[in-house]
Amino acid sequence: MARIRYLKPEFFTDEDLADIPFQTRLTFAGLWCYADREGRLEDRPKYLKAMIFPYDNVDMEKQLQTLAQPKHGNGNPFIIRYEIESKRFIEILSWEYHQKPHHTEVESKIPPAPPLREDKDKDKEKCPSDKLELSNVSKTVKTRLKITEHYNSPLFIGFWNCYPRKEAKGKAWEEWLKIRPLVDEKIVEQMKSRIEHFRNTPQWQKEDGQFIPLPSTWLHQRRWEDEIDGRGSGSVLDPVERLKETLRKDKERKLAGGGDKTPPGEIPSGS
């Protein structure tokens, strides 16, 4: 959705902007109209071209790439292009300098860009407000959300809403970000399936769910990868319990067969 934004006179005399092509300068100003109150918008080159340059033949992808490059080869870029959970976004740097959104404007629903890292080669004493540079800005940044105030990941929300114990959300978020490979819809569906099985276990039902592990513990232990017990009870066996169960069945077969010589852990042929 387009928004009305400020265009200061300093825009036309900015020396950093003077170093980029005319079309790129106009693109930069055009992005302001499609950014939310935090200076973030979806990275959709075709859409942005249609909105900002409806009557001109402009390569919007090229303009965005130019804006994402460091100024003068070593300074900050004008924008950051990043990707979170297969969705691509843009964040405009120095947004507070360029714009002052109205206080009634709705809050941003787009997760923030990855943090900038400080340039350690600069003299911090002489320049306490030294500029920062983005690591690998020439590439599209792929990151997971790292700020616990933002739980606006649809996949995490899907897990959280399904998990019966709503405690220590921040810790669960931290464990979520550590999961490798990165969580996708398939993994979330597997999580939900395992949670439904756990709901039927005596441990989770005992004393009104007091023994349900914290969501952070459940994630840390990767309990969605547990194998479901095939006896239909909905219980889940850990590796030790599965070994005990195998040995118990072997013993029962030996007693029933009068001393079967089958090695422990193997199923007799023809059984």
Q: Which runs of E-coded beta strand occur in the chain?
A: 40-42, 79-84, 87-92, 117-118, 132-133, 141-142, 227-228, 236-237
Confidence grade of residue 258 (pLDDT, cut at 50, 70, 90) = low
The tens digit of pLDDT for each residue in 221-239 reads 999 998 876 554 445 555 5
Quick one: tokens of 26? 């106009």
pTM of structure: 0.45
In angstroms, what CA-CA distances link 217 with 118, 152, 159? Answer: 34, 21, 14
pLDDT confidence of residue 72:
57
Q: What is the pLDDT of residues 107-162, one digit of tens each?
A: 888 888 877 554 444 444 444 444 444 444 444 444 444 444 456 678 888 899 99
**What is the 3 state secondary structure string of the chain?**
CCCCCCCCHHHHHCHHHHCCCHHHHHHHHHHHCCCCCCCEEECCHHHHHHHHCCCCCCCHHHHHHHHCCCHHHCCCCCEEEEEECCEEEEEECCHHHHCCCCCCCCCCCCCCCCCCEECCCCCCCCCCCCCEECCCCCCCEECCCCCCCCCCCHHHHHHHHHCCCCCCHHHHHHHHHHCCCCCCHHHHHHHHHHHHHHHCCHHHHHHHHCCCCCHHHHHHCCHHHCEECCCCCCCEECHHHHHHHHHHHHHHHHHHHCCCCCCCCCCCCCC
Tell me the sheet residues that pair with 172: none
- Alpha-carbon distance of 6 to 40, in angstroms, equals 16
By C-alpha distance, which of 29, 112, 8, 19 is closest to 69? Answer: 19
Phi and psi at 225, nearest 5°, equal: -95, 0
Distance from C-alpha of 48 to C-alpha of 67, rounded to nearest angstrom:
14
pLDDT digits (tens, 9 = 90+) for 86-114: 889 999 988 877 788 877 888 888 888 87
For 132, the 3-state DSSP assignment is strand
Q: List, for residues 172-201, the tens digit of each pLDDT value.
A: 888 888 888 888 889 999 999 999 988 888
Terminal-residue alpha carbon distance, the chain? 67
Segment 234-262 shows an average pLDDT of 65
More confident residue, 229 or 35: 35
